[in-house]
Amino acid sequence: MTHDEARAALEGLFAAGWTATPVAYDNVPFTPPPGLAPWIRLAIEGGETAQASFGGSVRRFRCTGTLRVAIQVARGTGTAGAYRLADQIGALIAAAVIPGLALEAAAPASEAGQADGPYFRLTVAVPFWHDDFR
């Protein structure tokens, strides 16, 4: 699996399985929903790549990364709604079966005091890895 195939699989997981809020994808135009309704932003970060096999005509490279889901809820409304969405993201990740892509457990991390304009932000991190055969 290539980096682009991993990205497509992760974005496809949310496109097909996430209905709780609108989703913003990197480098795609997005307008937050009206009335400060919640929404999420996906960011797929590459990590390290290490050669995992030697010799032969095809070698295996282990590639790591992190899916970061920034949950945006109206500022001043507490964190309960954001944590409920984080739990739903965790359930989606736990149920996902993507051949060639290993997803670890989703972990929410409060960014105390962090805000994007009128929104409070809670980020969920999901480490992943895949093998690339070249």
Distances in whole angstroms, Cα of residue 37 to Cα of each of 5, 43, 98, 129:
31, 20, 30, 33
Does residue 22 belong to any structural domain of this protein? yes
For residue 50, count other CB atoms closer than 10 A to its CB.
10
Task: Tell me if 123 is assigned to some domain.
Answer: no
Give the domain range for residue 37: 18-51+64-73+80-102
- Confidence band, pLDDT 50/70/90 cuts, at residue 52: confident
Note whether residue 107 is domain-resident.
no
In a domain, 3, yes or no: no
Residue 58 DSSP class: S
- Tell me the pLDDT tens digit for each residue of 24-42: 999 999 999 999 999 999 9
Radius of gyration of the chain (CA): 17
Determine the average pLDDT of the residues in 50-77.
90
* pLDDT at residue 134, as a whole number: 84
Domain count, the chain: 1
Q: What is the mean pLDDT of residues 117-131?
A: 93
Pairing status of strand 101-103 against strand 60-74: unpaired
